[in-house]
Structure 1
Amino acid sequence: MTNALPISINRHATIYRCPPVLSTEVAGEATMMDMESGLYFGLDSIGTDMWQRLEHPQSLAALSDGMAQDYAADADRIERDLGALLLTMADHGLVEFR
């Protein structure tokens, strides 16, 4: 793997969904609401797949490896894209890293 991720994310840290977030799937896409802020968020079908996989906390490494295999895509690219999305989601209180 390349060192293309921001330093603030450890690929071996476990990713957890934050508890105050409610989510549902509509037409193959996830819609989420942060109960504390009242903000709504939406994910496309690939983001929804990632969100579903996070039903069981896992590391970025495991998440990206699984998605790269299922989508037959470059693992480095998947990890970079997931890392960027997850950092944005963490900024909005949807996920956290431990």
Structure 2
Amino acid sequence: MSEPGNIIFEAAPDIEVVLTIMRPRPGVNRDKTNLSQSDYDATDNEANINISRTILELKLSLGKLLDVEPTDLRIFKDTVELQDAHQIMDYEIQTDDKLTVYIN
């Protein structure tokens, strides 16, 4: 138990999510604005993410792992595109939620 006047900070927890990585198929014109699901190859990956991180921080980490520029990534929860400045926790992402990561 802490003494009066002491502040205790708890780190935000990591949660395990499923990241579906959507890479454009070879030969697909990436400049096309409306790629369909059939234009992508999908792979599911389990990942532990810290909910206090921003979407931009997540993109920076994923960009390094996937060898792509963070600006080439778009992340969705269901049909909602997650915005860079927001924290992951702002989207009420829970353990075992599925996030879809599109590589442009």
Q: TM-score range by the shorter chain?
A: 0.3 to 0.5
Query: As a proportion of its length, which structure holds more strand?
Result: 2
Structure-1-length-normalised TM-score: 0.34
Structure with higher Rg: it is 2
Query: As a proportion of its length, which structure holds more helix?
Result: 1
